[in-house]
């Protein structure tokens, strides 16, 4: 009589049936290269809007001290008395800082991913030319712009890098005192030119981040990126130049 051999199976551990805990949708999306590109695009749009409206508001400097000081006070009382004075302004600043940190992290993460991935060719010669130009400047311009933001806050928001005559309520005088220093004025000019280069590439890349990069629209995309960057740079650069030239003061 043939002997039937049966194999005995050991006990199944709990880990074999344990389900993997899913991440929240947004975190799961951000863990992918596509999600990081979305974050880069969304935060880029937010910060582009900020620099544009910040420049437009600062144009009140050409209307005199009273106009610029009144505009600065207006920002402090946004939604008052619904919200306490200054709360909305600091909330906006906190939002901008959050967008900046997300933008930096997404940019760094994408750089790491791209270094380990197989390079993908660009769709057209023009795409390649613009991307190669940006790749030579984006890293260093980004570092200098970050240093500029820190200096700008220390100079005209907190006053620690301004003169001993700094007065939070006299924004016009603070701007004039700051830009009367030649090294500071030159730094602002150089930083804003680099900001323009950064904005040009950012405005161009937003369409790629969201998949809106049909080659048929390349001419329009280039015009938008060039125009947006030029408007912001010309407006911001005009402030230190106007002070140094004695147009305002």
Question: What's the rounded Cα separation, in Å, for the pair 201 and 66?
Answer: 37
Average pLDDT over residues 120-125: 48
Residue whose C-alpha is closest to residue 144's, from 93, 192, 186: 192
What is the predicted pLDDT for the residue at 126? 47
Query: What pTM was estimated for this model as a whole?
Result: 0.79
Q: What's the pLDDT score for residue 21? A: 67
Could you tell me if 62 and 242 are in contact, meaning their C-beta atoms sit under 8 angstroms apart? yes
pLDDT per position as a tens digit, 56-99 = 999 999 999 999 999 999 999 998 889 998 899 999 999 999 99
- Please answer whether residues 174 and 248 qualify as being in contact, where contact means their C-beta atoms are separated by less than 8 angstroms: no
The H or E element containing residue 47 is: helix 33-58
Tell me the two tokens of residue 22. 């899913």
Look over the chain and give the mean of its residue pLDDT values, rounded to a whole number: 83
pLDDT tens sequence across 126-168: 444 444 555 566 667 778 888 889 999 999 988 888 877 888 8
């Amino acid at each position: 009589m043939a002997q039937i051999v049966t194999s005995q199976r050991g006990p199944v551990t709990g880990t074999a049936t344990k389900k993997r805990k899913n991440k929240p949708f947004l975190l799961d999306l951000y863990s992918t290269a596509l999600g990081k590109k979305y974050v880069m695009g969304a935060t880029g749009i937010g910060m582009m809007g900020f620099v544009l409206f910040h420049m437009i508001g600062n144009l009140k400097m050409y209307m005199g001290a009273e106009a610029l000081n009144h505009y600065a006070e207006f920002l402090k009382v946004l939604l008052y008395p619904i919200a306490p004075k200054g709360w909305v302004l600091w909330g906006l600043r906190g939002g901008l800082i959050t967008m900046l940190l997300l933008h930096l992290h997404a940019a760094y993460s994408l750089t790491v991913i791209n270094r380990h991935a197989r390079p993908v060719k660009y769709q057209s010669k023009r795409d390649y030319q613009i991307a190669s130009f940006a790749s030579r400047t984006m890293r260093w311009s980004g570092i200098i712009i970050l240093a500029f933001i820190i200096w700008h806050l220390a100079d005209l928001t907190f006053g620690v890098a301004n003169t001993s005559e700094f007065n939070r309520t006299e924004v016009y005088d603070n701007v004039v005192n700051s830009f009367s220093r030649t090294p500071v004025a030159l730094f602002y000019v150089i930083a804003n030119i680099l900001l323009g280069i950064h904005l040009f590439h950012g405005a161009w890349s937003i369409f790629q981040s969201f998949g809106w990069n049909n080659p048929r629209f390349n001419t329009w995309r280039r015009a938008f990126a060039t125009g947006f960057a030029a408007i912001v740079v010309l407006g911001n650069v005009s402030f230190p130049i106007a002070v140094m030239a004695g147009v305002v003061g």
